[in-house]
Amino acid sequence: MENILHQILMVSMIISSLLVLSSKNPVHSVMFLILVFLGGAGILLYLGAEFIALMFIIVYVGAIAVLFLFIVMMLDIKLNRSKTSLLQYLPFGIVFGLLFIIELYMSMNDIFLQINFKETNVSWYSLIDNLTNTELIGQVLYQEFIVCFLLCGILLLIAMLGAIILTQNFSSYKTNEIVAKQLSRGNQGIFLFFKR
């Protein structure tokens, strides 16, 4: 059952990634991109990396894909129904695809020849004292790399403050508001407005 689920996720990711490239509407393309991210998170859950799968969903689906969707919706892109066909790009795609496959084969061939595949599965949980991935990442992050973690937090705080300061509009023209003068006017302005 699990192997069938893994194959379904792989096929859905491949189909969704092809639909991302071939979709004419950019909003539909972003929606198919979200499906690709969800399929990748499902495969990571299947492999036992639950923390990475959840971070994948939070970062990619929750932040990046939604950002893409809002940007595409704000740009108001006019869909241009051009008469040019995708078949004119087919020779270039075949040539570059073959070059890419050859390059991958040449770079990965030596790596796969040096790996000795074992028939037995290794129980990683027994080797790491029955800790989950989330607990292991927390231990490493908050014990060995606590200084780097705090420095990253300080840098993000400085970047946030810099973005806020850059968006402020500091102009030399200031309006002098005297609250007592505004309150002393009473309701005369409202009555003048309704008499019109």
CATH number at residue 7: 1.20.120.1200
* 190 part of a folded domain: no
* 154 part of a folded domain: yes
Identify whether the C-beta of residue 20 lies closer than 8 Å to the C-beta of residue 12: no
Contacts of 16 (CB under 8 A, 6+ apart): 32, 33, 35, 36, 39
Give yes or no: residues 74 and 1 share one domain: yes
Q: How many domains does the chain have?
A: 2
Identify whether the C-beta of residue 34 lies closer than 8 Å to the C-beta of residue 65: yes
- The answer, as to whether pTM is greater than 0.95, is no
What token pair was written down for 10? 């792989």
Domain encompassing residue 155? 131-165
Q: What is the pLDDT along the chain (196 residues), one digit of tens a residue?
A: 667 888 888 899 999 999 988 888 888 888 898 899 999 998 888 888 888 888 888 888 888 887 787 777 777 666 565 556 667 878 888 998 899 888 888 877 776 666 665 555 656 556 556 677 777 778 887 888 888 888 888 888 888 888 777 777 666 555 667 777 777 766 655 555 555 5
Distances, alpha carbon 35 to alpha carbons 22, 31, 57, 60, 165, in Å: 15, 7, 11, 11, 37
